[in-house]
């Protein structure tokens, strides 16, 4: 089973990378696909994305308050949703609740990026497979692997400070004196 992982900007890129590595350890025989990792150098990226979208019926869209209107997220979610009967488009909410998702993505049942939300998402992915694993086996794998994804989530959520935003000691001292 192929799962398309859609992202736009940070921290959704970091979460998508972590999911790409983590999901196959929890859901056996799963092939995650993420543009940054699965498009080879020199390939036509639009052809590679179109091919991957055509070969999947399950998508995880890494949504943040800043990117939920991003055109690429909308394009990819719409391409997956084309087969309404079998397609699953799951907004994975990073820094917002599923009820806060706006635009076209609000039509899909979202999950929060926390332990309960991810456990439910793993159950749903497992049930979409031809031969689902027993729930007890899913729980055992999830419990064993959750700490590694949780650590990656905390890293992704740390605010990024660019060199332009970082303040020097002289700037801070000047502000204190003033």
Q: pLDDT-based confidence at 17, cuts 50/70/90?
A: very high
Residue spans of the domains in the chain: they are 2-177
Note whether 99 and 133 are within 8 A (CB).
no
CA torsion, ordered 79, 81, 69, 165, to nearest 10 deg: -80
Q: pLDDT-based confidence at 63, cuts 50/70/90?
A: very high
Residue 157 has pLDDT above 80, yes or no: no
- What is Dmax (Cα atoms) for the chain? 68
Residue of 29 and 121 predicted with greater confidence:
121
The Cα–Cα gap between 18 and 21 comes to 5
Question: What fold is seen in the domain 2-177?
Answer: Rossmann fold (3.40.50)
The CA-based angle 39-141-59, given to 5 degrees, is 35
Residue 31 has pLDDT above 50, yes or no: yes
How much is the average pLDDT of 85-114?
A: 92
What's the whole-number average pLDDT of the chain? 88
CA torsion, ordered 151, 76, 53, 41, to nearest 10 deg: -70
Strands 31-33 and 2-6: parallel
Question: Poorest-confidence range of 37-46, 49-58, 125-134, 160-169?
Answer: 160-169
């Amino acid at each position: 089973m192929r799962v398309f992982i859609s992202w736009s900007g940070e921290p959704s890129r970091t979460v998508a990378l972590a999911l790409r590595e983590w999901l196959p350890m929890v859901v056996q025989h799963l092939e995650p696909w993420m543009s940054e990792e699965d498009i080879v150098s020199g390939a036509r990226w639009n052809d590679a994305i179109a091919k991957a979208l055509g070969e999947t019926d399950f998508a995880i869209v890494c949504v943040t308050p800043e990117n939920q209107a991003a055109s690429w997220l909308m394009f990819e979610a719409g391409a997956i949703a084309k087969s309404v009967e079998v397609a699953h488009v799951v907004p994975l909410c990073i820094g917002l609740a599923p009820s806060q998702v706006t635009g076209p993505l609000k039509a899909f049942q979202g999950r929060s990026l926390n332990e309960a939300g991810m456990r439910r998402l793993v159950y749903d992915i497992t049930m979409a497979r031809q031969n689902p694993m027993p729930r007890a086996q899913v729980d055992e794998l999830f419990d064993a692997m959750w700490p590694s994804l949780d650590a990656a989530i905390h890293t992704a959520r740390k605010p990024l400070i660019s060199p332009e935003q970082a303040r020097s000691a002289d700037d801070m001292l000047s502000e204190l004196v003033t």
